[in-house]
Chain A
């Protein structure tokens, strides 16, 4: 295991891991390749020529409904969810460092938010808005529905971060005469910044890809996942794959940027 020579176990497990990665990425790469299908090609292999026809098709509104609008809504909603998730999780994480009455109840409420089936939240918020006479919309009801999914992740991550965070740094800052606010801004915040970016990444991507919680809560206008789901039932051309490729590349861009940020922060801190 931790012996110097790689044993048989290592090679068997390495092969298993390789298969797992292939299982994860294989189908996605099939979609990626097929989105460059020629204009006369179909939904399956082989490629009938190579073209950007289906990507061009994507931006003609008649072909795929409202791609631009739904992307804009999903993107904006993702940003809103991201900001609120980071701020609220950070505050809750700070609160959980101290003892306060109801802390356990609040913690288990957050866990409950994670395990309650998403369609139940969707139904509940939908009915609630209906009964109180509010118009459900992506920026109100769907926004709240997404937060019930992203906040527990944020809170759990902050909980784990503060579990490992020694209070001695803040004590040192206080001994040197820093106010509570100064020690928060100049000591604590820079140290946990990479984790906060991670929470933000989770908040954005979970919201950007969320389907079940948006189903009953989005109101008149669709978010991108709802739009894509609609397409799966009535679009029979590779434009579906083009959309898949574009949204996946967008997700990858977001993930890559966040990870780049985290890495550069860690490197800068190590250099100090």
Chain B
């Protein structure tokens, strides 16, 4: 961190060139601002507007009605779906946090050469750069009724008949989500662990701390910013997920985004928009809560 602070851009510019420099900074930032303005801010504003519109089976009409919210919030199906989505978020978060921490800890503190560290980290990263849908489908021959796991269990005589709940169940949804999203926890935690000053660990050992005490009193507290960033990724990805829920539950479970997708396929855009506003508010509150603990810009 001290390194980054020392390298932070200082007043390199004289008074005259400062104005040129600041103009060029605006010009350099402009493309990003335009793209995010057009494809992020504008669409979200549009959603907020449309959520107050009226609609019928074919079209929607500019209006100011609140029944899209009333219907969404007044239905127990909505509340059940939100609860179900939050349930997935909590379970997947807890599992990826445990996996992410131990994998990152192993890479950061047990692998001795930088080359080996990079190589093993790449081994973890590569699957995440391939198609999510293919990775989801790949569970079918493993977990299906005649899949690898069931065949093995039956052949070994552990179960008399194939286990039905392996695929198309909440179990399958959580498993696939952990499979898809765990790297988003590994990477930020690995990043923070790599920046822990090793002399702190030495000092703790010299002061007589056991391995366990070093872990709980030195390393885990220092790893918290990485865990917070990983949490932001995993929680927002799970809250936004509909395809994993749809494919892996076989249509038996619901999530908020899946509910939105169904409304959209019925052309009920204002209803979907009201749902979107509620979901977005919830997600932003969760992220804002986590950002109170961690300053992302300091962690990069």
Task: Say whether A associates with B.
Answer: yes
A25 to B103, CA, bound (A): 16
With contacts A100-B29, A111-B296 taken as known, whether A144 is within 8 angstroms of B126 at the C-beta atoms is: no
Chain B residues, Cβ within 8 Å of A10 = 110
Q: How far is the CB of A33 from chain B (nearest CB, A)?
A: 9
Which single member of B31, B144, B257 contacts A43 (CB below 8 Å)? B144
B133 touching A211, Cβ below 8 Å: yes
A109: nearest chain-B partner, CB-CB: B36
Chain A CB within 8 A of B39 CB: yes
A95 touching B29, Cβ below 8 Å: yes
Q: Can you list, as one digit per residue, whether each of B279-300 has a CB less than 8 Å from chain A (1) or not (0)?
A: 1100110010000000011001
A228 touching B131, Cβ below 8 Å: yes
Q: How far is the CB of A207 from chain B (nearest CB, A)?
A: 11
Chain A CB within 8 A of B58 CB: no
Chain B residues, Cβ within 8 Å of A124 = 42-44, 46-47, 276
B44: nearest chain-A partner, CB-CB: A124
- Number of B interface residues, CB 8 Å? 91
Chain A CB within 8 A of B69 CB: no
With contacts A1-B211, A205-B129, A247-B131 taken as known, whether A167 is within 8 angstroms of B260 at the C-beta atoms is: no
Chain B CB within 8 A of A199 CB: no
Chain B residues, Cβ within 8 Å of A7 = 211
Which single member of B32, B133, B201, B240 contacts A151 (CB below 8 Å)? B32
Q: How far is the CB of A38 from chain B (nearest CB, A)?
A: 15
Chain B residues, Cβ within 8 Å of A106 = 29, 32-33, 36
B102 touching A117, Cβ below 8 Å: no
A49 to B244, CA, bound (A): 32
Per the 8 Å Cβ criterion, residues 1-38 of A in contact with B are 1-2, 7, 9-10, 13-14, 16-17, 20-21, 23-28, 30-31, 34
Which single member of B103, B130, B148, B297 contacts A251 (CB below 8 Å)? B130
B9 touching A123, Cβ below 8 Å: no
B132 touching A117, Cβ below 8 Å: no
A166 to B170, CA, bound (A): 50
Of B144, B146, B201, B297, most A-chain CB atoms within 10 Å: B297
Which single member of B39, B47, B141, B297 contacts A45 (CB below 8 Å)? B141
A124 to B276, CA, bound (A): 9
Q: How far is the CB of B257 from chain A (nearest CB, A)?
A: 5
Chain A CB within 8 A of B40 CB: yes
Chain B CB within 8 A of A52 CB: no
Chain A CB within 8 A of B156 CB: no
Chain B CB within 8 A of A125 CB: yes
A120: nearest chain-B partner, CB-CB: B276
A217 to B127, CA, bound (A): 26
A31 touching B141, Cβ below 8 Å: yes
Chain B CB within 8 A of A225 CB: yes
Of A26, A88, A102, A259, most B-chain CB atoms within 10 Å: A88
Chain A CB within 8 A of B224 CB: no
A209 to B126, CA, bound (A): 13
Per the 8 Å Cβ criterion, residues 217-261 of A in contact with B are 225, 228-229, 232, 240-241, 244, 247-248, 251-252, 255, 259
Q: How far is the CB of A147 from chain B (nearest CB, A)?
A: 5
Which single member of A44, A98, A120, A252 contacts B9 (CB below 8 Å)? A98
Which single member of A2, A107, A121, A228 contacts B40 (CB below 8 Å)? A121
Chain B residues, Cβ within 8 Å of A182 = none
Chain B residues, Cβ within 8 Å of A244 = 131, 134, 137-138
Which single member of A20, A147, A209, A211 contacts B35 (CB below 8 Å)? A147
A131 to B269, CA, bound (A): 12
A47 to B125, CA, bound (A): 30
A233 to B147, CA, bound (A): 18
Chain A CB within 8 A of B228 CB: no
Chain B residues, Cβ within 8 Å of A16 = 102-103, 106
Q: How far is the CB of A189 from chain B (nearest CB, A)?
A: 14
Q: How far is the CB of A200 from chain B (nearest CB, A)?
A: 12
B138 touching A30, Cβ below 8 Å: yes
Chain B CB within 8 A of A110 CB: yes
Chain A CB within 8 A of B236 CB: yes
With contacts A31-B141, A115-B232, A163-B4 taken as known, whether A212 is within 8 angstroms of B126 at the C-beta atoms is: no
Residues of A bordering B, CB below 8 Å: 1-2, 7, 9-10, 13-14, 16-17, 20-21, 23-28, 30-31, 34, 43-45, 84, 87-89, 91-92, 94-100, 102-103, 106-107, 109-121, 123-128, 131, 144-145, 147-148, 151, 155-156, 159-160, 163-167, 171, 201, 205, 208-209, 211-212, 215-216, 225, 228-229, 232, 240-241, 244, 247-248, 251-252, 255, 259
Q: A43-B144, A109-B36 are in contact. List 15 more A-B contacts (CB 8 A).
A: A1-B214, A24-B124, A98-B25, A106-B36, A115-B232, A116-B44, A120-B260, A120-B276, A123-B269, A148-B35, A148-B40, A171-B12, A232-B133, A251-B130, A252-B130
**Pairs across A and B, CB under 8 Å, 7 listed:** A30-B148, A91-B28, A91-B32, A95-B28, A96-B29, A117-B240, A144-B35
The 10 tightest CB contacts between A and B, nearest first, are A124-B43, A117-B240, A27-B138, A95-B28, A144-B39, A95-B29, A160-B300, A13-B106, A244-B134, A100-B25
